[in-house]
Amino acid sequence: MEQSDILAQLPRLALPWYAENRRELPWRADREAYHIWLSEIMLQQTRVETVKGYYARFLEALPTVEALAACDDDALHKLWEGLGYYSRVRNLKKAAQVIMEQYGGAFPKRYDQVLALPGIGAYTAGAICSIAFGLPTPAVDGNVLRLVSRLLDDPAPIDLPATKARVTEALAAVYPREAGDFTQALMELGATVCGPNRKPECGSCPCRECCLGFQHGTAEALPVKVPKKEKRQEERTVFLFRCGDQYALERRPDKGLLAGLWQFPNVAGQLDTRQALAQAERWGLRPREIQREVFRKHIFTHIQWNMKGIYLEVAEPAGPFQWFTEEQINTQAALPTAFRLFWEES
């Protein structure tokens, strides 16, 4: 069977399966473009179970594109706190502002218009346009690429742009009238039956009759990926300065990693006790007592931070910092996970 013939079988096989087996997820309750967009951005690099709570809280606070466009940055970051990859939420706001300015608050309905919005790539544009507007625009992510690579017994690395482009084009040619359900059926198969980091459940897959990976016994070995580069290691010392019921925070730079978010004061390298006290004094603080030290690590896309957290009581809330109470940190200041690791230990 030719590859095009195999993919042409997918609507017949996947749509009935999806109707029977789809998970009930909050963003599937309607076809509202704003809801689909928000869920797809949140689901990038994040588990479904984690996203459910964030999705509900976000929509409760910002129920419309207009509310998102007008939201204060600190409040926006606080809603996103813990999801990571904060450029996603900054681009959400930028795109919402474009929608307000260029489209009068109505979500654009053409694929090229959606693709042009900040932070929206081909996958997200395909998901929005197919699910919300019924357009034959594939949404090809890792789940769909895994599914197709097994169906076709295709050893091409799925993380190469050329592979993704080829699969997108091939799927577009077989899209049925039920475009939104078909997009979600492929996503669902790739996330569950043909899921990541485990053996595929070929016995319960509706596509096994035409799956070359199943027939050839190669499904478990697929997909192929380009070997990842080793992450760069960075050592950091993080200071949790406390004076009474206040803690020192500072803004990160407006550009770069974790741009514009709050952080505990920190420096490169892992300082010993003498060096840590000297650094506190350089910041204009009068250290009283080091209460404890905690070691943690946090992994970003290309970097791993190996961090030493120093909990240090100081005489007064001084230095080039802003001082927050525990309640203010918990309700107002968005702390990236790398720093929240230490806050949760305090």
Question: How far apart (Å, rounded) are the C-alpha atoms in residues 37 and 121?
Answer: 11
* Residue ending a domain, choose from 198, 221, 244: 221
Which are the contacts of 147, defined by CB distance < 8 A and separation ≥ 6? Answer: 186, 189, 190, 194, 207
Are 242 and 205 contained in the same domain?
Answer: no
Are 256 and 278 contained in the same domain?
Answer: yes
Q: Does residue 243 lie in a domain region? A: yes
pLDDT tens, residue by residue, 32-59: 999 999 999 999 989 999 999 999 999 9
User: What domain count does the chain have?
Assistant: 2
Which are the contacts of 63, defined by CB distance < 8 A and separation ≥ 6? Answer: none
Are 217 and 236 contained in the same domain?
Answer: no
pLDDT at 311: 97
Calculate mean pLDDT across residues 85-114: 97
Residue 307 structural domain: 232-343
Residue whose tokens read 């019921």: 245
Choice among 2, 40, 49, 327 that is catalytic: 40
Which are the contacts of 33, defined by CB distance < 8 A and separation ≥ 6? Answer: 107, 109, 128, 132, 133
Are 67 and 88 contained in the same domain?
Answer: yes
Are 132 and 211 contained in the same domain?
Answer: yes
pLDDT at 106: 97
CATH at residue 148 = 1.10.340.30
Are 42 and 160 contained in the same domain?
Answer: yes
Averaged pLDDT of the chain: 96
Residue 2: pLDDT over 90? no
Tokens of 306: 């190996």
* Residue ending a domain, choose from 179, 198, 221: 221
CATH at residue 285 = 3.90.79.10
pLDDT at 3: 81
Are 337 and 201 contained in the same domain?
Answer: no
* Residue ending a domain, choose from 221, 240, 267: 221
Q: Does residue 227 lie in a domain region? A: no
pLDDT tens, residue by residue, 280-308: 999 999 999 999 999 999 999 899 999 99
Calculate mean pLDDT across residues 6-35: 97
Q: Does residue 253 lie in a domain region? A: yes
Catalytic residue check, 169: no
pLDDT at 45: 87
Distant-in-sequence contacts of 171-176, Cβ < 8 A, 24+ apart: 171/7, 171/10, 171/138, 171/140, 171/144, 172/136, 172/137, 172/138, 173/4, 173/7, 174/4, 174/7, 174/8, 174/10, 174/11, 175/11, 175/130, 175/136, 175/137, 175/138, 176/11, 176/15
pLDDT tens, residue by residue, 81-94: 999 889 999 999 99
pLDDT-based confidence at residue 345 (cuts at 50, 70, 90): confident
pLDDT tens, residue by residue, 212-221: 999 999 999 9
Are 57 and 145 contained in the same domain?
Answer: yes
Are 158 and 260 contained in the same domain?
Answer: no
Q: Does residue 79 lie in a domain region? A: yes
Q: What percent of the chain has pLDDT over 70?
A: 100
Are 199 and 91 contained in the same domain?
Answer: yes
pLDDT-based confidence at residue 265 (cuts at 50, 70, 90): very high
Calculate mean pLDDT across residues 238-249: 97
Residue 162: pLDDT over 80? yes
Are 107 and 21 contained in the same domain?
Answer: yes
pLDDT at 147: 98
pLDDT at 40: 97
Residue 239: pLDDT over 90? yes
pLDDT at 86: 92
Tokens of 311: 């909990």
pLDDT-based confidence at residue 74 (cuts at 50, 70, 90): very high
Tokens of 108: 């654009």
